[in-house]
Structure 1
Amino acid sequence: MTDVNTELRLDGRTAWVTGAGKGLGRAIAVALSQAGATVAVTARTAADLESLAAELAGHGGKVLALPGSVADSAVVRETAERITDTTGRLDALVNCAGISPHFTRSEQVTDQDWQQVLDVNLQGTFYCCREAGKAMLAQRSGSIVNVSSVHASTGFERIAAYAASKGGVEALTRTLAVEWADRGVRVNSLAPGYFHTDLSSGLLDSRWGERIVGGTPLGRVGDAGELGGAAVFLASDASRFVTGTTLTVDGGWTAW
């Protein structure tokens, strides 16, 4: 009989989390560390990573803090190499780096605004998948979790670039899952609904917040820590027969 508790453990494994400085990425990094993984964390702000590293180390976790932008392919390549050189392996990648700095009607979105979002959310995800994938394919094992959004599959005003980037993330996920399955690498996506984070605070604190909460059957938005278990599941052997799928965590927001 399979021991689910054992399968959910990540002892002896290395997990890389991008966008780990704040919000959902930070919560996921904490959850992976609690599951026993050595956690390599990436974000643009070094101070955020230093704070996270101190928190994880204070609880006995092993952590490698590597500041940098996922939108820079050279930085991503160097980061992946440092992780494998330091730990000897790479077993899981959680692509959580993402931005949504504009809440603008589509006809008013500038070329620069559009490109900025796609550079981080879609190109950055691909760069990290590509470099982590090389290491995982070489060892013939690994799990990639691309953090998407409920807006990859549902419409909402004023987020054209963000929604398009997340739709692309899910398409990329399905393609890589098919391409890499026969070499032991699984690729899935995790689609959060609305959670309390710095990224969502402006929207949730505005008149839109009441609409969002009102459309969520559980009657509230999520706490960042509530996403960690889903990420651990997809990164672990408990999901070893799951690839190319999207796990939605949204309090029922898309069920209406």
Structure 2
Amino acid sequence: MTDINTHLRLDNKTVWVTGAGKGLGRAIAIALSQAGAQVAVTARTAADLYSLEAELAEHGGKVLVLSGSVADSTAVRTMVERITEWTGRLDSAVNCAGISPHFTRSEFVTDEDWRRVLDINLQGTFYCCREAGKIMLEQGSGSIVNVSSVHASTGFERIAAYAASKGGVEALTKSLAVEWADRGVRVNTLAPGYFLTDLSSGLLDSKWGERIVRSTPLGRVGNADELGGAAVFLTSDASRFVTGTTLTVDGGWTAR
């Protein structure tokens, strides 16, 4: 009989989490560490990572801090090299790094604003998948989780660049899942709805916040730690027959 509790454990597994300094990335890194993983954490701001390292180490977690931008392909390659030097392998990667800095009508989005969002959210995700995938394909095993959004498939005003980038992430995920499945590497998408984080707080505190809550069947936005279980599932052996799919955690937002 299969012991589901054993399959959900990540003991002795090395997991890389990008965008781990704050918000959902930080919450996911904490959940993976609590499940037993050795966690390499990446963000642009090192100070946020060191506070996370101290928090996890206090509870016996093993952590590697790597600062840098996922939009820099050379930096991403160096990060993966450092991780494999650290433990000798890379079992999972959770690509959380992303930005949504503008809430602007599309006709006023500048070329620079558009490129910046796509560079980090889509190109950065590809760079991380490519470099992590090389290691996992050589190992013959691995799980990649790309964090998308409900807005990859559900329309909302004033977020054209963000929505386009996340739609691209989901298409990328499906393509890689098909391409790498026969070599033991799974690739899935985790699509959060609205969670209370630094990224979303401005929107949720505005006139749109009431509309968002009213449109969520559970009647509230999520807490960051409510996403961790889904990430643990997708990185663990409990999901070993799951690839190319999108796991949506949104309080029923897309079920309307």
TM bracket (short chain)? over 0.9
> What secondary structure does 1:82 align onto?
helix
Counterpart of 2:177 in 1: which secondary structure? helix
For the pair 1:170 / 2:170, whether they are aligned, the reply is: yes
Cα deviation 1:21-76 (Å, max 9, x = unaligned): 00000000000000000000000000000000000000000000000000000000
The amino acid of 1:228's aligned partner reads: G
Extract unaligned runs of 5+ from structure 2: none
1:243 maps to 2:220: no
Letter in 1 for 2:100: S
Q: Within 2, Cα distance between the matches of 1:151 and 1:53?
A: 31
Partner of 1:105: 105
Deviation at 1:86, TM superposition (A): 1.1
Return the TM-score normalized by structure 1.
Answer: 1.00
Does residue 207 (structure 1) correspond to residue 207 (structure 2)? The answer is yes
What is the aligned-residue identity percentage?
Answer: 84
Q: Give the Cα separation in 1 of the matches to 2:13 and 2:247.
A: 23
Q: 1:44 matched to which residue of 2?
A: 44
- The aligned runs of 1:147-186 (5 Å cut-off) are 147-186=147-186
Matches within 5 A, 1:133-144: 133-144=133-144
The CA distance in 1 between the partners of 2:254 and 2:8, in whole Å, is 27
- Counterpart Cα distance in 1 of 2:254 and 2:200: 17
Q: Secondary structure at the match of 1:66?
A: strand
Displacement after TM superposition at 1:3 (Å): 0.5
- Corresponding residue number in structure 2 for 1:255: 255
Q: Which amino acid aligns with 1:83?
A: I
Cα deviation, residue 85, structure 1: 1.0
Whole-angstrom distance in 2 between the partners of 1:222 and 1:33:
21
| CA distance in 2: counterparts of 1:250 and 1:115, whole angstroms | 27
| Cα RMSD (Å) | 0.3
Distance in 2, matches of 1:157 and 1:86, equals 44
Q: Tell me the alpha carbon deviations over residues 155-190 of structure 1, each in whole angstroms, 9 at most, x when there is no partner.
A: 000000000000000000000000000000000000
Letter in 1 for 2:180: W
Unaligned runs of 5+ in 1: none
- What CA distance in whole angstroms lies between the structure 2 residues aligned with 1:114 and 1:66? 27
Q: Distance in 2 between matches of 1:229 and 1:109?
A: 36
Residues in 2 aligned to 1:229 and 1:16: alpha-carbon distance in whole angstroms? 16
SS in structure 1 at match of 2:233: helix
Q: Corresponding residue for 1:32? A: 32
- Distance across 2 between alignment mates of 1:13 and 1:217: 36
Cα-to-partner distance string for 1:121-165 (whole Å, 9 max, x where unaligned): 000000000000000000000000000000000000000000000
Match of residue 80 from structure 2: 80
**CA separation in 2, counterparts of 1:79 and 1:202?**
32
Structure 1 ranges of 4+ moved more than 3 A: none
